[in-house]
Structure 1
Amino acid sequence: MADHTLVFIVLGLTLSAFVWGRFRYDLVALTALLGSVILGLVPGEQAFLGFGHPAVITVAAVLVLSRGFERSGVVDVIAEQVLRVGDRLVLQLIALTGTVVVLSGFMNNVGALALLLPVAMRLAREHDTSPSFLLMPLAFGSLLGGLTTLIGTPPNIIISSYRGSITGENFGMFSFFPVGAVVAVVGLLFIVLVGWRLVPQRAGKASTEEMFDTANYLVEVKVDEDSKAVGWSLRELQHELEETIPVLAVVRDEKRRAGHAFLGALREGDILLVEAGPEEMKLLEDKAGLRLGIDPKEEEAEGEEGRTNSEEGRDGRGDERSKDKDGDEASSAQDRNSGQSASDSNPAQADRREGGEQEKAKEKKKNKKPGVDTKGLELVEAVVRNDSMMVNRTVTQLRLHNQFGLHLVAVARDGSRLKQRLRDIRFRAGDVLLLQGGESNLTESLTTLGCLPLANRNLTIGQPRMLVVSVLIFAAAIAAMLFDVLPAAVALSVAALLSLLVGVLPLREGYQALDGPVIVLLAAMIPVGQALETSGGAALIAENLLVFGVDWPIVVTLVALFLLAMLLSNVINNAAAAVLMAPIAASLASGFDVSPDAFLMVVAVSASCAFLTPIGHQSNTLVMGPGGYRFGDYWKFGLPLSLLVLVVAIPMILLVWPL
């Protein structure tokens, strides 16, 4: 079997696995690489050269620098200004989307979105705006902003490196700017003026209380003298229940202790604040002897109060009858004017009627759910990222409480709370979680799990000195790239190293900033993409495209190339799309005997136009849960935006990069 046929089989299976989504894309890419080595398509000694490829190193350095910007407070200063725009939706869109467009040009676009997502949620809550109007424009803006510079998005880095491999000269830091800036500005105007109107409104999901309806699930249960739970720790309680029922707080001696930090044994009189529905309440009563936290003395007092009220009611009626006998003219006139019936004037019937009303009131009071004070609970919302270790795993498998010190309180998907038991839920990318944990380790735990917090950001965490230092380090790296002092990969790596050395970013957070799945994806797919070229597969695809395009102007072929790369980027990772389409674009340029620059630029722009599906880019997935979007919502907004980018980008590419 010919090598190019084997490459097509490997790529076909790889793309099918990407679309299926059952396995993580980094595992799929690594399988494709090893399969190519076994089939002889990639030499064994070159299998892992991708991990040292300049494009991979550049992406890693940008991820570290992006985290440094967050840590130093650069973005917090910007976000603080965004929060001042007021309650007009158009101004909110301009501020949020415009800011993310600018930020995405100089840092990882997913990182830029992650920093402004909590700001958008806070705006929606403070001004009673549906977050669905803000979040999809924000995600699309992050993709548009990445078009403007070399480091804005991985496809630009990949295309630049590929150009260097075939021409000996990479694209520069701002080589993408003339085309990318025009496309980004036009796209921003479309989003602000028209695009947001194409987004379906998902009302009432802007706050934790509305999304999770928390108050209806929080109840207080009491440890009585005969409760089985006396002497148990909370861990032993969960083990006996064989169920994930989060204990948010333990009240003892009128002092409330957070459940995640309570390590002692339960005593008689303790009150537990738990997240429980009817089934869980029955489980707590049957297996632990816990019941709703109403003290028997309080019940007796309530009974005494009810009897006292009843007696007062009868005394009142006796007094009223006495007044009637004494000839109280005002009372008699009022009775006559009210049209009092004969049956109402009968004392026996009146007593029975009032007794019935008291029984109804007592029953209503009995069934009424006790109020729960949630003040001071450390609850935080977080969205599950595509690369999260939580994806397709349950809370039991993750051991959230034992290993990470977190209680899972509730899960929302597609904008509404899931009603199934917590232990049965397998998490998906885009799920919104309501978690409880200690403030000291909450950030670290969420980072390790691969979750993005949606809580209100503290806009004063940055240190002014580090803010200035981080900007100066980054500016020096950009200058070194512009004046060809250092290659991009080296300049940005030096900047990342300096950020770690001077303390802009702790070393541990620097390693956490490295997006492992993206790094593995790029490193694995680069040799596979080279195999597509060396086997003749790219040339074969280009020849077939040339056959159809020989009678048409080159611009038609560019449009077809744009559409093909754009569709590919909406079903697989955009970096993988750029890796696969770059050799095809170069082969097309060679077939037409023209400069490859225009064809490569078409791939760079189109690979970042993943506006049609929530799985095409992490930015789209991250806003799906908080915005309450459904899969089909994206193309309604994304299709006209994609066509607009096509119409604007092709003429600009031909103007800036003539054939």
Structure 2
Amino acid sequence: MDSIILSLLILAAVTLLITQHIRAEVTALLIIATLAMTGMLTPEEAVSGFSSSATVTVAGMFILSAGLIRTGALDMAITFVLRFARESRRRLFLLFTALVPTLSAFANNTPIVVMMIPITLTVCRRLTISPSKLLMPINYLAILGGTCTLIGTSTNILVNDLSKSNGGPEFGIFEFSLLGILNLSIGVVYLYFLSDRLLPDRTPVILQSTQDRGGTFDTEVIVQAESSLIGQPVSAVFGKDAEVTILEIIRERDVLRSPIDPTTIIQPDDALIIHGTAKDIRNLISSVGVVLASAIEEGDAAKQQPGDTTLAEAVILSNSPYVGRRLSRIGLHRLYGVKVLGIERLGRPHRLLIRETRLKVGDVLLVQADVEGLVRLREAGGVMVVEEIQHTMVEREKAPIALAIMVGVVTLAAFNVFPIVSLTLTGAALMLLTRCLRLSEATQAMNTSVLLLMAGTIPLGLAMIKTGLAFDIAHHFLSIIGSTQPWVVIGGIYFLTMVFTSFFSNTATAALMVPVALGVATEVGMDPVPLMIAIIFGASSCFATPISYQTNLMVLGPGGYTFKDFVRIGLPLNLVLWVFATIAIPIFFPP
């Protein structure tokens, strides 16, 4: 009976993680509560994920990574890359190939990608290169680099911890590095020769606007009581020759959709969904008495402040407090003077009522504000602000200290002097004690979405073993693949992990797959080591969809990508790496 209940719980959890109807953190807490309330686990077992060494280690790695970036410890390497890139995109790609995987092998992928996006946009503008040709490859390089060490990704750490706690193997920090480097090399060759052909030549809205290339987007404006539009027909303002076109009129509960009758009279408080360039929309706003809907918060019309403003993109991160909240309720204009011109979701303009839109992870907001407002928005956390120039305060005099702390952690871990969890905690504490990082910055750096998801899925794996569900799934898995040959089993585990991680969290995928793989190893009578390696590498094969990994969502807007772009370049890469892993893992880790 417990197996049936647990199966239904897993199905419900996977559905919620894929559809994102509720936040991943809430799903994780529901998993914990259900496991405890149904008696499948004791209360102590249900909350064991919070005290798991994997969760604590990942939290420490978030702080260590933030310390490196906050002090500018990585700037020297980046400066070197930019100096030798000159005018060549190929040379720039090769230099990024040397830099990004090296960084992501020892620091969390997310802050690395966050740091690289504005740098890449600046370089692309300087060298007249489309960012779409570089941002996705850089993101993929960061993901591939994470497979080179145990601390490269939170998923690696989680698989190691789950394996060890359930009687499986434990890995050293560099135990699968050679395989990871070969995996990275195949990815580099693939991207070098095919990314230019498969990726589009697009410029994102933020660069289109600053370069006056006519980048267009949709936004919502409200007709104020003193507007000169009142009483005029739509054709008088939004005729055939108008720079700005009207898509919809929202009048109380009625929605007039395109094509709108040209004789329709504009009335006070009409919400107009319009389409045009940033320049033309700003001209319309200043001349006819309408206000951006995003400047109306909680029922109060905010005055639009004149002055020197700039356009930027703000990407909603997975740990953002804005996820699930309406734009009108988060107070961006009131708190930071930031006005939202438009929203892009999964590479497409979002045309619903902007102020009533509930924000999702990966949403890209095209915003307008002065530099000070953008800096304050960035420092508040929860969004990645992308501009042509990064206005980030760094403590450069602390850079040698931060670098020394990180090198010390990696070196001691490599020689197994202390457990990794102890080293990362010590390193995180030293970052704070030496003031490389403020306490508020450390708490911002810890991705609560990832940590809570780990805390929720770790006991789920324990329940799968305790109820026998893991062994039932393992038996069915072997029946489906129809072979107990080690290379077939390894390839099957990798493929299943790769498919799951394409549609929901790789952390959750790893937590589900580890007990299944241990059950398969027991039933077949093979060493579980190659199966754990297959899960580690399969969970990082998250190239085919933008929703499979949070850094994919981060580059979606700034790169001007669509869902199809990820499938076009990412799916073949997934398949190539799957074939490589199926052949290579049994050679490096004999079953």
Tell me if TM exceeds 0.5: yes
Once the two structures are superposed, residues 366-392 of structure 1 have per-residue CA deviations (whole angstroms, 9 ceiling, x without a partner) of xxxxxxxx9843543322223322234
Change over 3 Å in CA distance of 1:81–1:12 after alignment to 2: same
Q: Give the 3 Å change call, closer, same or farther, for CA 63–280 of structure 1 in structure 2.
A: farther
Aligned CA RMSD, in angstroms, stands at: 3.2
**Partner residue in 2 for 1:66:** 65
Alignment TM-score, normalising by the size of structure 1:
0.73
- The aligned amino acid for 2:181 is A
Q: Is the 8 A contact 1:61 1:492 kept in 2?
A: yes
Separation (CA, whole Å) in 2 of partners of 1:99 and 1:243? 52
Task: Return 5+ residue gaps in structure 2 as ranges.
Answer: 227-267, 273-279, 292-305
Deviation at 1:420, TM superposition (A): 6.5
The residue that corresponds to 1:144 in the other structure is 144
Instruction: For residues 233-257 of structure 1, give each alpha carbon's deviation from its aligned partner in whole angstroms, at most 9, with x where no partner exists.
Output: xxxxxxxx98999xxxxxxxxxxxx
Deviation, 1:76, is: 2.1
Unaligned 5+ segments in structure 1 are 225-240, 246-272, 285-373
Query: Contact 1:67 / 1:111 at 8 angstroms: preserved in 2?
Result: yes
Partner AA of 1:99 in structure 2: L
Letter in 1 for 2:5: L
Deviations 1:212-261 (A, max 9, x none): 859999x9xxxx9xxxxxxxxxxxxxxxx98999xxxxxxxxxxxxxxxx
Distance 1:422 1:216 in 2: 10
1:281 aligns with 2:288: yes
Indicate conservation of the 8 Å contact 2:534/2:585, yes or no: yes
1:211/1:429 Cα in 2 relative to 1: closer, same or farther (>3 Å)?
farther
Q: Is the 8 A contact 2:470 2:519 kept in 1?
A: yes
> What SS does the corresponding residue of 1:74 show, helix, strand or coil?
coil
Q: Within the alignment, does 1:10 sit opposite 2:9 as a pair?
A: yes
**Partner in structure 1 of residue 406 of structure 2:** 474
- In structure 1, the partner of 2:194 is 194
Alignment of 1:288-367 (within 5 A): none
Aligned-partner SS, 1:429: coil
Deviation, 1:103, is 1.2
Describe how 1:510-521 pairs up with structure 2 within 5 A: 510-521=442-453
Shift of 1:51: 0.7
Residues 211, 468 of structure 1: alpha-carbon distance in 2 compared, 3 angstrom cutoff: farther
Q: Does the CA-based 8 Å contact 1:101-1:146 persist in structure 2? A: yes
1:627 equivalent in alignment to 2:559: yes
In the alignment, which of 484, 495, 507 is matched to residue 439 of structure 2?
507
How far, CA to CA, are the matches of 2:285 and 2:307 in structure 1? 24
Q: Provide closer, same or farther for how the CA distance between residues 407 and 551 of structure 1 changes in structure 2, counting only shifts above 3 A.
A: closer
Greater CA drift, 603-612 or 463-472: 463-472
Q: Given that residues 313 and 558 in structure 2 are in contact (C-alpha distance below 8 angstroms), is that contact kept between their aligned partners in structure 1?
A: no
- Do the aligned partners of residues 623 and 616 (structure 1) sit closer, same or farther apart at CA in structure 2, a change above 3 Å counting? same
Matched residue of 1:433: which SS?
strand
1:483 to 405, 410, 415: 415
CA spacing shift, 1:215–1:654, aligned 2, 3 Å: closer
Specify the alignment match of 2:156 in structure 1. Answer: 156
Amino acid at match of 1:558: I
% identity of equivalent residues: 28
Instruction: Check the 8 A contact 1:413/1:628 in 2, yes or no.
Output: no
Are the equivalent residues in 2 in contact too, given 1:118–1:455 (CA < 8 A)?
yes
Alignment of 1:68-467 (within 5 A): 68-84=67-83, 85-167=85-167, 170-203=170-203, 205=205, 206-209=207-210, 213=215, 275=282, 277=284, 281-283=288-290, 376-413=308-345, 422-437=354-369, 439=371, 442-458=374-390, 462-467=394-399
Decide whether the 8 Å contact of 1:380 with 1:436 is kept in 2.
yes
Q: For 1:87 and 1:413, how far apart are their aligned partners in 2?
A: 33
Encode CA deviations 1:521-562: one digit per residue, 9 max, x unaligned: 100110011101111011011112233456452211111111
419-428 or 493-502, larger mean C-alpha shift = 419-428
Tell me which amino acid in the other structure corresponds to 2:560: G
Counterpart-to-counterpart distance in 1, 2:218 and 2:12: 47
Partner of 1:43: 42
User: How many positions carry a matched residue from both structures?
Assistant: 525
What is the distance in 1 between the residues matched to 2:412 and 2:335?
44
Structure 2 match to 1:19 = 18
Question: Residues 467 and 449 from structure 1, CA distance in 2 versus in 1: closer, same or farther, beyond 3 angstroms?
Answer: closer
CA distance in 2, matches of 1:566, 1:36: 27
2: CA distance, partners of 1:598 / 1:491: 27
Distance 1:471 1:629 in 2: 34
When residues 243 and 424 of structure 1 are mapped into structure 2, their CA distance, relative to the original with a 3 A threshold, is farther
Cα offset, 1:280, TM superposition: 8.8
Residue 530 of structure 2, aligned match among 589, 598, 623: 598
Q: 1:481 to 1:38 in 2, by over 3 A?
A: same
How far apart are the structure 2 equivalents of 1:549 and 1:568?
A: 17
Shift in CA distance, 208/479, structure 1 to aligned 2, threshold 3 Å: same
Structure 1 pair 588–31 and aligned structure 2 pair: CA distance change class (3 A):
same
Task: For residue 77 of structure 1, report the CA deviation from its aligned partner.
Answer: 2.1
Q: Is the 8 A contact 1:42 1:528 kept in 2?
A: no
Distance 2:338 2:92 in 1: 34
- The 3 A distance-change label for structure 1 pair 416 and 27 is closer
Question: Which residue type is aligned with residue 8 of structure 2?
Answer: I
Instruction: Indicate if the aligned counterparts of 2:491 and 2:581 stay in contact, CA closer than 8 A.
Output: no
Alignment deviations for residues 269-294 of structure 1 (CA, whole Å, 9 cap, x no partner): xxxx994646993447xxxxxxxxxx
| In structure 2, C-alpha distance between the alignment counterparts of 1:112 and 1:278, rounded to whole Å | 38
Would you say the 8 A contact 1:120–1:134 is kept in 2?
Answer: yes
The answer to whether the Cα contact below 8 Å between 2:62 and 2:445 also exists between their aligned partners in 1 is: yes
- Could you say if the C-alpha distance between residues 513 and 211 of structure 1 is closer, same or farther in structure 2, counting changes exceeding 3 Å? farther
Q: CA deviation at 1:48?
A: 1.4
* More displaced 10-residue stretch of structure 1: 616-625 or 380-389: 380-389
Tell me the alpha carbon deviations over residues 621-653 of structure 1, each in whole angstroms, 9 at most, x when there is no partner. Answer: 111112222222211111111111112223332
In terms of mean alpha carbon deviation, does 599-608 or 44-53 score higher? Answer: 44-53
Q: 2:412 & 2:566 partners in 1: Cα distance?
A: 40
Pairing of 1:561-576 with structure 2 (within 5 A): 561-576=493-508
Deviation of 1:481 after TM superposition, in Å, equals 1.4
> 2-side partners of 1:399 and 1:419: how far apart?
21
2:381–2:444 contact (8 Å) kept in structure 1: no
Q: Secondary structure at the match of 1:202?
A: coil
Q: Distance in 1 between matches of 2:168 and 2:178?
A: 22
1:299 aligned partner? none
Report the AA paired with residue 54 of structure 1: S
- In terms of fraction of residues, the more helix-rich structure is 1
